[in-house]
Amino acid sequence: MSKNNLWIKQPLAVYTANDENADNGIVVDQITGKIVELVAKGTMPISDIQHVFDASQHVLIPGLINTHHHLYQTLTRALPQAINKALFPWLKSLYPIWAKLMPEMITASTKLGLAELILSGCTTVADHHYLFPKAIEGAIDLQVQAAKSMGCRVMLTRGSMSLGEKDGGLPPQQTVQTDTQILTDSARLINLYHDKEEGSMVNIALAPCSPFSVTQDLMIETAKLARSHQVMLHTHLAETEDENDFCLQMFGMRPLDYLESVGWLASDVWLAHGIYFNNEEIKRLGQAQVGICHCPSSNMILASGICRTKELEAAGVKIGLGVDGSASNDGLNMIQEVRQALMINRLRYPANEVTHLDALYWATKGSAKVIGRDDIGELAVGKQADLALFKTDGLRFSGSHDPLAALILCGAHSADAVMCKGNWLVKNGELLNQDIMAIKQQHHTLARQLVN
User: How many domains would you assign to the chain?
Assistant: 2
Residue 443 in any domain: the answer is: no
> Distances in Å between the alpha carbon of 215 and those of 86, 168, 189, 219, 229?
24, 10, 21, 7, 22
My answer on whether 25 and 134 are in the same domain is: no
pLDDT value of residue 86:
86
Q: What is the pLDDT of residues 384-399, one digit of tens each?
A: 999 999 999 999 999 9
pLDDT at 149: 97
Same domain assignment for residues 266 and 193? yes
Q: Domain check: are 327 and 425 in the same one?
A: no
Is the same domain home to 355 and 209?
yes
| 38 and 79 share one domain | no
Q: Is residue 283 part of a domain?
A: yes
pLDDT value for 2: 60
Residue 163: predicted pLDDT: 84
Q: Please compute the mean of the pLDDT values over residues 60-72 and round it to a whole number.
A: 98
One domain, residues 139 and 270: yes
Please check whether residues 259 and 207 belong to one and the same domain.
yes
- 431-442 burial, b at 16+ Cβ within 10 Å, e below that, comes to beebeeeebeeb
Q: Are residues 75 and 12 in the same domain?
A: no
Of residues 91 and 112, more confidence is placed in 112
Question: Domain for residue 440, yes or no?
Answer: no
pLDDT confidence tier of residue 280, bands split at 50, 70 and 90: very high
pLDDT of residue 212: 75
pLDDT tens digits, one per residue of 222-258: 999 999 999 999 999 999 888 888 889 888 999 999 9
Q: How confident is the model at residue 213 (pLDDT cuts 50, 70, 90)?
A: confident
**Does pLDDT of 168 surpass 80?**
no
Residue 1 has pLDDT above 60, yes or no: no
Residue 438 lies in a domain: no
What's the mean pLDDT in 266-293? Answer: 98
Lowest mean pLDDT among 33-37, 142-146, 150-154, 298-302: 298-302
Q: Are residues 178 and 312 in the same domain?
A: yes
Q: pLDDT above 90 covers what percent of the chain?
A: 88
Name the pLDDT band for 147 (thresholds 50, 70, 90). very high
Boundaries of domain holding 196: 64-370
Average pLDDT over residues 257-275: 97
What confidence tens digit (pLDDT) does each residue in 7-45 have?
999 999 999 999 999 999 999 999 999 999 999 999 999
CA atoms within 13 A on the CB side of 275: 21
Residues near 378 by Cβ (< 8 Å), separated by ≥ 6? Answer: 16, 17, 18, 62, 364, 365, 368
* 158, 206 Cβ separation under 8 angstroms: yes
Mean pLDDT of 163-169: 78
265-280: average pLDDT: 97
CATH number at residue 417: 2.30.40.10
Residue 442 inside a domain? The answer is no
Residue 246 confidence (pLDDT): 84
439 part of a folded domain? no
Lowest mean pLDDT among 38-47, 84-93, 102-111, 195-204: 84-93
In a domain, 448, yes or no: no
3 pLDDT above the threshold of 80: no
Q: Output the pTM of the full model.
A: 0.97
Verify that 82 and 58 share a domain, yes or no: no
55 and 110 belong to one structural domain: no
Which CATH number fits the domain that encloses residue 170?
3.20.20.140
- Of residues 374, 286, 300, 375, the one with CA closest to residue 331: 300
283 in the same domain as 390: no
Residue at 376 is within a domain: no
Average pLDDT along the chain: 95
DSSP code per residue over 395-452: GGGTT-S-HHHHHHHTT----SEEEETTEEEEETTEETT--HHHHHHHHHHHHHHHH-
